[in-house]
Amino acid sequence: MRFTLKTTAIVSAAALLAGFGPPPRAAELPPGRLATTEDYFAQQAKQAVTPDVMAQLAYMNYIDFISPFYSRGCSFEAWELKHTPQRVIKYSIAFYAYGLASVALIDPKLRALAGHDLDIAVSKMKCKRVWGDWEEDGFGTDPIEKENIMYKGHLNLMYGLYQLVTGSRRYEAEHAHLTRIIHDEIAANPFAGIVCEPDNYFVQCNSVAYLSLWVYDRLHGTDYRAATRAWLDFIQKDLIDPERGAFYLSYHPESGAVKPWISAYTTAWTLAMVHGMDPAFSERYYPRFKQTFVEVYDEGRKARVRETAGTDDADGGVGLASAFTLLLAREMGDQQLFDQLLNHLEPPAKPSIVSASLRYEHPGSLLFDELLFLAKVHAGFGALLRMPPPAAKLAGK
């Protein structure tokens, strides 16, 4: 992530933590870390985000025209500055959005801001700049009509989280329409779930879609989530290596082919979301997942994650194994692994707070600050499903 703005001030880790408990001893907070793991896990109890999370929110909101959540319009200057490929923008917006939902749950004073940003996130998600690859690749001009669960699953979950956070019915009709499309497509398919591109089935993208059905049920008292059992049975029977606690890379229903490589980022993403729906499922495979993929190093202070088996290389493939495992560790309440992974991920990215805004000089992946933000604030997908309504609803807006 590179910015054209000049650096005017850099806040030290100790100064950053002022006002959020006593600063940790140097041995507890390595250079390049911005808060302790204990402080991240205590945010909800304290009803306050850590100062570095507040600085991340400033990055997302503060600078006119170029902050990601400046306006509902189809301007994407923030992503251009980060050199985010068009096909990745949908994921960037979605993971920001899931973090914003947790911010709303953590701090009642920030709930209105989180809802405002979620509104902008949904609006931007519908811009053709976000979904245009579907048309460009020749798959159709309507990104939600069929398939494309890699896009419409996120959009549906974002619709639901926006209404949970704000109480607003702004997108309720669109949400109902898309939920029916997803549910009916699942019911019509001879396999459990929906493909991304034609004949490309990814379990992690389906985890988003099924979780979106649970959120819809929470809002409207329906029972779309009943489809989840058949999906979990399917992926457990056909798409997971039970000995290694890992999902295979992809499934191709027309031929029945399953790519034989297991994938850490696929598994971490999926187990994190499934834990919100069926905790026992994720808890069954989490220890085996760690044994298969996680390498602890630097005398126990750090951990990194192999993307697949048979290699010692960390973060191969799409480069997101460690970051998604950070989210999974947070979802599972695993403070030790969360701390080790953050020690591995954050310091090399050279974070700084400039004019109250967090930025990373050397982000480690295309979704680096999105996933670190999400993991730092993540209250748990089950907790989001149980989110209490806002004190004052924006009904009808």
Catalytic residue ranges: 64
CA distance 59 to 66: 10
Q: Is 196 marked as binding a ligand? A: yes
Q: What letter represents residue 275's amino acid?
A: H
Geometric angle at alpha carbon 158, from 184 and 100, rounded to 5°: 160
Q: Taking CA 99 as the corner, what is the angle to CA 95 and CA 100, rounded to the nearest 5 degrees?
A: 115
The helix/strand/coil state of 217 is: helix
Please, which contacts does 130-137 make with residues 24 or more away whose CB atoms are closer than 8 Å?
130/86, 130/89, 130/90, 130/93, 131/90, 132/86, 133/86, 133/87, 137/197
Q: Determine the distance from the C-alpha atom of residue 17 to the mean position of all C-alpha atoms in its chain, rounded to a whole number.
A: 25
Q: Which two tokens stand for residue 268?
A: 């971490």
> Using an 8 Å Cβ cutoff, are 131 and 151 in contact?
yes
CA gap 250, 292 in Å, rounded: 19
Its sign, for the CA torsion 321, 324, 327, 332, is negative
**Contact, 162 vs 115, CB < 8 A?**
yes
Q: Is 310 exposed, middle or buried (0-12, 13-18, 19+ CB in 10 A)?
A: exposed
Amino acid identity, position 390: P
Find the helix or strand (DSSP H, E) in which 322 lies: helix 321-332
Identify the three-state secondary structure at position 201: strand
By DSSP bridging, strand 246-247 and strand 240-241 are: antiparallel
By C-alpha distance, which of 379, 375, 380, 316 is closest to 346? 375
Q: By C-alpha distance, which of 355, 346, 372 is closest to 10?
A: 355
Residues belonging to the binding site are 196
Residues belonging to the binding site for (2E)-geraniol are 196
